[in-house]
A and B are shown apart, each in its own frame.
Chain A
Amino acid sequence: MRAVTEENILEIKNLQTSFYTRDFEVKAVDDVTFSIPRQKTLGIVGESGSGKSITSLSILRLIESPGKIIGGEILFKGKNLLGKSEAAMRKIRGNEISMIFQEPMTSLNPTMTIGQQISEAYKIHQGLQKKAATKHAIEMLKLVGIPSPEKRVKQYPFELSGGMRQRVMIAMALACNPDLLIADEPTTALDVTIQAQILELIKDLQSRLGMGVLLITHDLGVVAETCDYVAVMYCGQVVEYADKRSLFKDPKHPYTVGLMRSIPTHDRDLEGDLAVIKGTVPSPDEIPSGCRFAPRCSYATELCKSKLPDLQTYNDVNQIRCWIYSDEWDGDSEVNLHAESESTT
């Protein structure tokens, strides 16, 4: 593990966030560790229930009851956000760390104009008066490529298309020039040609404004196009963290490999059936005691089923949570993850 240095804009260590139902505790985020270098993009990939969105909400401490952050550290510019007061957190939200959400249709307030919603950030964090704030809002709209921004500031969200609304969300998030932008499935609800526009915009603004980006998505294609580093999450844990090239060229975790193989791609033909990961994600009250992926993994051994592997570091940066790469591994000495595995339905 890398030392805590100023080169990382965000470092998350052993984060735990749980939700409490009447009968049991759902460990939505369980011992999550990763970091985002300054001005770089980290993608978190995972299926529903992997805890990727809860992780992102935890960073801004927007977890609501019955959820609670119960452990770990979230170091932003070297300072632990979990130790801050609510008032101090408010100064960070929308100012130093901003967030955009999946549903541009519902994430904007329907009874406030676009201008009011963007300029609010200026009013809160920079104490600007209405006139100056609106002027800045118009500039932001221009920056995110919205035509005739002077007209748009006076409009309401329903007057804009989905792609335009996501641009407004981005304008709002970037208003105070944050050091970190968290984008939770920013293009999932959008059509593919609009998705291309939005991803291009985020990339462009990142290089111009020099911020770190945390991009949460279920789409490996989006990750390949936009991220520098990737964390793969499964059942509330990071199972693999790697730079993009390593992850796509040499995925290490059986889940990552399975995930990549089960996606039909548009740029080449596949013969026969798709490879599948057997079974389903375990429900929150039936989390396996060993490796969480063991029941679905074709390489799982007794060790995997009984003991949870640690996240171990290799090549200084990349991390893997799998017994295959440890000295204790009790299965085949030569595991070939990349051999075509049999598919089952």
Chain B
Amino acid sequence: MFKYIIRRLIQTIPVLIGVSLFVFSMMHLVPGDPAQIMAGESAPEQQVENIRERLGLNEPLHVQYLKYVTNAVQGDLGNSVRSGRDVSAEVGARFWVTVELAIYSTILAVFIGLIAGVISATKKYTISDTFIMLIALFGLSMPNFWLGLMLIQWFAIGFDLPGWIPFIEKTSWFKPSGWGSFQQVVLPVITLGTGSAAIIARMTRSSMLDVINQDYIRTARAKGVKERIVIYRHALKNALIPVVTVVGLQFGGLLGGAAITESVFAINGMGKLVIDAIAARDFPIVQGTILVIALLFVFVNLFVDITYRFLNKRIDLD
């Protein structure tokens, strides 16, 4: 196992180089002069030249890249063109917000997805199965921004409910913006987690159905094991093996998907930072944020692969 982790860490090196190359070249792949774009079309020549100077755009490409990488390794991702502030500090301040959002959403998605999937599989072709799968289909099809807006409408702004419903006057239980308190966290997490919950539910269902027909499940029943234990002890662990991979991919997807949710709920996370930066053509911020998200993605995948190996002892052979 230890050898495997080392090997996987070594394998991430080329990926990291690829990511840094991609992020670096972003600025140069944009048509036109990056300095001009950052400064704005009507900016005076001197200002453009300043930016060019500050970002070292006059130097040859490979020198620029090496500088970029050397600085990045030391935690220096440059300075924002707009505010002049340190990109690392800027990203760092919002890093945990996005990670928290993605983690909470993943937890929610896994929790609901697994339960729904298992129920669906054990009661296959019944009404509950059809119902759960129908909901999952809805969850999958709803765009994040729409779901977010609807949730804000229903649970944060609220309707004026008809007077005959007692006790409740307005359904404004949650807050429509910001991050931190419970009331602020609930709606964005639901918005972001719903799609993943649906995918996990569908995956768990098909994986479970496959496992339930395996010979060793029959062996367990022939041993006199209670049906509930057959499902949760004998079947679920095996069914989880393919699900874990999906969860990992979902988590990565949620990091990226957070941008929309953060915008809808006005959360100051990395997603919103990058969207704002794009709008402001603040390249260092965009580069820095994407680099951090990509790194996060790589390490989450590594973690997933290790978990996968832990669950599936069979592949831990070499």
Contact = CB atoms under 8 A, between A and B. Distances in A.
Instruction: Tell whether any CB of A sits under 8 Å from a CB of B in the complex.
Output: yes
Interface of A: 60, 62, 90-95, 98-99, 101, 103, 106-112, 120-121, 124-125, 156, 158, 169, 172
A108 B224 contact: no
Interface stretch (B45-53, B165-173, B211-219, B271-279): B211-219
A109 B234 contact: yes
Nearest to A61: B221
B3 interface: no
Contact of B224 (A91, A106, A109): A91
Contacts of B313: 110-111, 156, 158
Contacts of B219: 99, 101, 107-109, 169, 172
A106 B222 contact: no
Contacts of B222: 60, 62, 93-94, 98-99
B224 A121 contact: yes
B2 to A, nearest CB: 19
A166 B220 CA distance: 15
B240 to A, nearest CB: 9
Contacts of A124: 223-226
A137 to B, nearest CB: 13
Contacts of A172: 219, 223
A101 B218 contact: yes
B312 interface: yes
Given A112-B237, A156-B313, 8 more contacts: A62-B221, A90-B226, A94-B225, A108-B219, A109-B238, A111-B237, A111-B311, A156-B314
B215 A103 contact: yes
A120 B223 contact: yes
B216 A110 contact: yes
Contacts of A95: 224
B314 A158 contact: yes
A60 B223 CA distance: 10
Interface in B69-122: none
Contacts of A101: 215, 218-219
A179 B65 CA distance: 77
B224 A112 contact: no
Contact of B220 (A103, A106, A109, A158): A109
Contacts of A103: 215
A100 to B, nearest CB: 9
B214 A106 contact: yes
A106 B216 contact: yes
The interface residues of chain B, by DSSP majority, are classed as helix
A127 B113 CA distance: 34
A6 B63 CA distance: 93
Contacts of A99: 219, 222
A125 B224 contact: yes
A111 B309 CA distance: 11
A90 B221 CA distance: 8
Contact of A92 (B218, B224, B238): B224
A334 to B, nearest CB: 48
A303 to B, nearest CB: 41
A98 B220 CA distance: 11
Contacts of A169: 219
Nearest to A108: B216
The 4 closest A-B pairs by CB, nearest first: A94-B223, A93-B224, A94-B224, A106-B215
A111 B240 CA distance: 11
Most buried by A among B223, B241, B313: B223
A227 B208 CA distance: 39
A158 B312 CA distance: 11
Contacts of B218: 62, 101, 107
Interface in B174-227: 214-216, 218-226
A93 B223 contact: yes
A172 B234 CA distance: 15
A158 B314 CA distance: 6
Given A110-B314, A158-B313, A93 B237 contact: no
Contacts of A111: 237-238, 241, 311-313
Contacts of B216: 106-110
Contacts of A98: 222-223
B224 to A, nearest CB: 4
Nearest to B223: A94
A109 B314 CA distance: 11
Contacts of B226: 90, 124
A6 to B, nearest CB: 24
A60 B225 CA distance: 13
Contacts of B214: 106
B318 to A, nearest CB: 13
Contacts of A110: 216, 238, 312-314
Interface in B234-258: 234, 237-238, 241
Contacts of B224: 90-95, 121, 124-125
A103 B216 CA distance: 10
Interface in B302-318: 311-314
A95 B225 CA distance: 11
Nearest to B236: A111
Nearest to A158: B314
A115 to B, nearest CB: 14
A108 B238 CA distance: 12
Contacts of B238: 109-111
Nearest to B237: A111
A43 to B, nearest CB: 20
A8 B313 CA distance: 44
A107 B312 contact: no
Nearest to B220: A109
A103 B225 CA distance: 20
A94 B215 CA distance: 16
Nearest to B241: A111
A95 to B, nearest CB: 6
